[in-house]
Amino acid sequence: MLLTVLPLLGLIVWPFAAMMSPMIFDAPGSENNPLAWASYYLVLAYPFPTIVGAIMSYYNWKRNADGRRCLVSTLITYSGILAILLLAVIETVIKGFSS
């Protein structure tokens, strides 16, 4: 149950990140960068999988569901965080190869 509460704490900070997300496009030429667009949409979409996964986890916990269902709901809850981290790693690797 604690594993599903931790991503929900990120929802407290999410409005500030969403408010600042258009700043991704401040650099010249960044409006043509697909990684900038992907990170923009990932920041804006963060609450949806987090909330859906938390609701699924709660119902699975109440029904004493098997481990697979609990694992799936936890992965859905963390999918927003994992996607943002994966995008950061991809961007770092691409910048490393281009320099």
- Torsion, Cα of 67, 73, 75, 80 (10° steps): -170
CB 81 within 8 A of CB 53: no
- Percentage of the chain lying above the pLDDT 70 cut: 93
Q: What's the average model confidence in pLDDT over 1-28?
A: 84
What pLDDT digit, counting tens, does each position of 49-71 carry?
888 888 888 888 888 877 788 77
Which residue is listed with tokens 């979409």? 45
Distances (CA, A) of 6 to 9, 33, 38, 93: 5, 31, 24, 28
| More confident position, 67 or 36 | 36
Is residue 98's pLDDT more than 70? Answer: no
Is residue 36's pLDDT more than 80? Answer: yes
In terms of Cβ atoms closer than 10 Å to its own Cβ (0-12, 13-18, 19+), residue 42 is: middle
Is residue 99's pLDDT more than 70? Answer: no
